[in-house]
């Protein structure tokens, strides 16, 4: 009989968990606010980390042999479970935190499995029927943060570097422009000019404010202005404005997708074995076809040398914007917990690079 398994997905806004079984899938779903700086803005990082350990421990019932798979929204060492940073949860990076060790100390009765949330979502995305022939699959999340992971399906590994990391693209340097002038914004990690500063959910909101200041008359005449003034969320107003073909919303979309397109162009140039790129997260999924269209427009204007001219569909054939639920961190955490993707200090790795086996 399979041991009881609980899967948990930790984001900057919400903490979700459920029971999981091979026969019944997910059941007894629960959603709570994440114990991060959004909920407790006055708490210290140490306090927020204690609250996180307590929340994760409380989500797992005291049952014999219980297993917990965690999809965690942070840059972490996949070999050891040490969290390096999570700007949405804890603000600018501080000292590393041994989350896996803290969980084992708080609940030694639980068999803990910890992976980054993008890794978990990738495991689910890549496991779908029809993707068996893919050599490598990349999943990028565009949400409150931005990151990606690549799974080599032939070896069932997610390669990592000497720090146990892979794909922290949100913190690569980036440039973009609005109204014909460069924009410089600071990332939530505290460093200016990162991809996430412009292209994450919070970054897009800040870019909209720049656009409003630089083009006040066009802003007042736009559907984006009408939507935001009606009392709805910015995200909903942005989607509605794009649905209506609003030119100002289109200009904003082009500016915030440009850094993402720059990264994907480089990725495909350096690794042509990537047979599919999935885009997920609240921004990409929420904007759907608009987001895919904008990214491909950048890659059409400035594509891959020779390849884009000789085979114009090569890039488009590899780009998927995920539907809701197509890259689920809860189901990925279940795969990690049951298929051997164990993150601990015994995971195989060399001095310089390592691989997380799944």
User: CA neighbours within 13 Å on the CB side: how many for 295?
Assistant: 27
CATH topology of domain 129-325: Nucleotidyltransferase; domain 5 (3.30.420)
> How confident is the model at residue 353, as a pLDDT?
44
> Tens-of-pLDDT digits for all 358 residues of the chain?
678 999 999 988 889 999 999 888 999 999 999 999 889 999 999 999 999 999 999 999 999 999 999 999 988 999 999 999 887 788 876 789 999 999 999 999 999 999 999 999 999 999 999 999 999 999 999 998 899 999 999 988 899 999 999 999 999 999 999 999 999 999 988 899 999 999 999 999 999 999 999 999 999 999 999 999 988 899 999 999 999 999 999 999 999 999 999 999 999 999 999 999 999 999 999 999 999 999 999 999 999 999 999 999 999 999 999 998 999 999 999 999 987 543 322 334 333 445 555 5
Q: b/e string for 87-124 if b means 16 or more Cβ within 10 A?
A: bbbbbebeeebebbebbbebbeebbbbbbbbbbbbbbb
- Predicted pLDDT of residue 93: 63
Chain region(s) in the chain for CATH 3.30.420.40: 5-122+328-357, 129-325
The residue to which tokens 């987001």 are assigned = 291
Closest CA to 278 of 174, 122, 154, 123: 122
Exposed/middle/buried for 250, CB within 10 Å: 0-12, 13-18, 19+?
A: middle
The C-alpha atoms of residue 160 and residue 76 are separated, in whole angstroms, by 11
**Global confidence as pTM:** 0.90
Of 59, 69, 46, nearest to 15 by C-alpha is 59
- CATH 3.30.390.50 for domain 5-122+328-357: no
Six-digit token string for 226: 């009408």
Helix axes 247-270, 234-243, angle to 10 degrees: 90
237 vs 205: CA distance, rounded Å: 11
Q: Are 108 and 208 in contact (CB under 8 A)?
A: no
What pLDDT sits at residue 251? 98
């Amino acid at each position: 009989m399979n041991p009881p398994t609980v899967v948990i997905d930790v984001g900057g806004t919400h903490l979700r968990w459920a029971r999981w079984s091979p026969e019944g899938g997910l059941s007894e779903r629960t959603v709570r606010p994440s114990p991060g700086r959004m909920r407790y803005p006055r708490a210290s990082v140490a306090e927020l980390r204690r609250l996180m350990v307590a929340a994760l421990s409380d989500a797992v019932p005291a049952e014999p042999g219980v297993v917990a798979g965690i999809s965690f929204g942070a840059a972490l060492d996949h070999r050891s479970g040490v969290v390096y940073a999570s700007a949405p949860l804890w603000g600018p990076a501080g000292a590393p935190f041994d989350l896996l060790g803290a969980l084992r100390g708080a609940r030694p009765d639980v068999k803990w499995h910890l992976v980054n949330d993008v890794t978990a979502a990738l495991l689910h995305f890549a496991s779908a029927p029809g993707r068996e022939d893919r050599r490598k699959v990349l999943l990028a999340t565009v949400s409150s943060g931005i990151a990606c992971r690549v799974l080599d399906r032939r070896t069932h590994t997610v390669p990592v570097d000497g720090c146990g990391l892979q794909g922290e693209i949100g913190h690569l340097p980036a440039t973009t422009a609005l109204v014909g002038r460069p924009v410089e914004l600071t990332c939530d990690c505290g460093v200016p000019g990162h991809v996430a500063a412009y292209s994450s959910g919070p970054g897009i909101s800040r870019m909209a404010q720049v656009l409003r200041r630089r083009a006040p008359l066009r802003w007042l005449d736009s559907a984006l202005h009408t939507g935001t003034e009606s009392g709805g969320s910015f995200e909903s107003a942005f989607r509605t404005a794009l649905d209506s073909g609003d030119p100002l919303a289109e200009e904003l979309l082009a500016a915030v997708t440009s850094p993402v397109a720059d990264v994907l162009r480089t990725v495909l140039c350096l690794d042509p074995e990537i047979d599919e790129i999935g885009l997920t997260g609240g921004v990409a999924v929420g904007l759907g076809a608009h987001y895919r269209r904008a990214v491909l427009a950048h890659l059409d204007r400035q594509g891959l040398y020779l390849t884009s001219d000789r085979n114009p569909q090569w890039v488009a054939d590899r780009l998927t914007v995920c539907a809701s639920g197509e890259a689920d961190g809860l189901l990925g955490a279940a795969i990690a917990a049951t298929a051997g993707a164990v993150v601990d200090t015994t995971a195989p790795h060399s001095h310089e690079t390592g691989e997380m086996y799944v």
